Amino acid sequence: MKTQFEEARAGVITDAVRAAAEAEHVDPETAARDIAEGVAVLTLNPAHTKCRPTIVGRRYSTKVNANIGRSTGSSDLCGEMEKLRCVIEAGADFVMDLSVGEGIDAIREEMIARSPLPLGTVPIYEAFWRAQGDISKLTAEGLVEAIAHQAEQGVDFMTIHAGLLRSHLEISAKRKMGIVSRGGSLIAEWMAKNNCENPFYSRWDDILQICHEHDVTVSLGDGLRPGCLADASDEAQFAELDELGKLVLRCREAGVQVMVEGPGHVPYDQIQMNIERQIERCHGAPFYVLGPVVTDVAAGYDHIASAIGGTAAAFHGAALLCYVTPAEHLGLPTLEDVREGIVAHRIAAHAADVAKGLEWVRQRDNDMSDARAQFDWDRQFSLALDGEKAREKYESMKDDSSDDDYCSMCGKEFCAIRTTQRLKDELAKQS
């Protein structure tokens, strides 16, 4: 079987590419060319039969990923299915199952069966759980087996921390926050205890063979992403980034689609440099960023701090935003946290796409302006990125009047739009 990458390189335009291109208002030939060049990916494991073809790349609308999944002490299958429903309804483009603990295989299987969104995982979580949570029992073979099992189930993309090498451990230890990536910290501890190179890196050819067989997109994990502003853009982060660039080329040589994950906590003024450096070092592979979170002191509001950074990152070339919720750094997100995180990052993505000049995206803003000028409330709610909340807010603040040609912000007498309508009528009389 040929992967989407190989089909595109052979000049074949698949049905999946056509569907994804139509959703992006581009011609299929352009989409296929971008996939062939590796500057876009179409994450679609054939075993995930319900999956909606979705393209990720700088030319296209910025996508939003939502992370869900149980922890060892919280949630279960029913709880995670509720989160999945929330993710879909809130408008995310991708979803990742980061479950750890009991029953994770069943959770992932059910997500694949139910989700029309491309599904991603971090296979080291399952491998570590199979090793009874004991790093000394984790083996390279166990890691590869977890990847193979999840690929067979239908996982569309996988975060694999293959660029974090033994030589990076000493420099990462100098950081204020050290290693904040869950998967990155596990692989770092494994290397230190076994005095061996990263097994993902050592077994990379075997991993690529599995990913090729199932057309799984590799998402090269940033195990050394900065977890605070003080660690941003440091030696450890960029040492790993250079290795990720080399792995991008090995993926392409093997006919496997690849994107690259990025920071993390980054001061606003360093975002452009970080994005441009990734594009250069990683040969144009799509960039999948966590935020970036632009301040360390927004606890409870980290979805806002992340959305601020996400708009800047997407404008400068990031293609996929991983959401952050209000619960970031505090605990496992609730359903409401998930919804708020998705909407915040959809706003960030939309704002970036408007700034990038995507006319079909901007049309939604123009339509909203028309609806507001006409006091067409139903149309406004349908166009809003969270129309349900907008409607609830409007109705809860509406006064007792049955009139709907104003809102309670200014009241009928001081409504600027009503005044403007009278002004236009007066000018029309005079003309």
DSSP string, 96-136: EE---STTHHHHHHHHHHH-SS-EEE-THHHHHHHTTT-GG
The series of mean pLDDT values per 10 residues for the chain, 431 residues long, is 95 97 98 98 97 98 96 84 97 96 91 98 96 94 98 98 98 96 97 97 98 98 98 98 98 98 97 98 98 98 98 98 97 94 98 98 97 95 96 86 78 88 89 80
Alpha helices in 137-216, H assignment, sequence order: 140-153, 169-172, 182-194, 199-202, 204-214
**Given the structure tokens 């236009």, which residue do they identify?**
424
- Residue 239's beta-bridge partner residues? none
How many whole angstroms separate alpha carbon 317 and alpha carbon 279?
8
Beta carbons within 8 Å of 104's beta carbon, 6+ residues apart: 69, 70, 97, 125, 126, 129
Report the pLDDT value the prediction gives residue 117, as an integer from 0 to 100: 98
User: Of 260, 269, 256, 198, which is closest to residue 56 (Cα–Cα)?
Assistant: 260
pLDDT in tens, 359-406: 999 999 999 999 999 999 999 999 999 999 999 999 988 876 667 887
| Strand 40-42 with 55-57, pairing | antiparallel
Q: End-to-end CA distance of the chain, in Å?
A: 70
Q: Hey, what amino acid is at 42? A: L
Q: Where are the alpha helices (DSSP H) in 260-334?
A: 271-281, 302-316
Provide the sign of the torsion angle of the four alpha carbons 205, 286, 319, 24, taken in this order: negative
pLDDT score of 123:
97
At residue 166, what is the residue type? R
Predicted confidence at residue 431, as pLDDT, reads: 80
CB atoms within 10 A of CB 385: 16
Q: In 3D, which of 199, 201, 262 has the Cα closest to residue 226?
A: 262
CA distance 46 to 213: 10
Q: What pLDDT is recorded for position 76?
A: 87
Tens of pLDDT, residue by residue over 80-121, are 999 999 999 999 999 999 998 888 999 999 999 999 999 999
* Residue recorded with tokens 């997407």: 314
DSSP SS3 for 95: strand
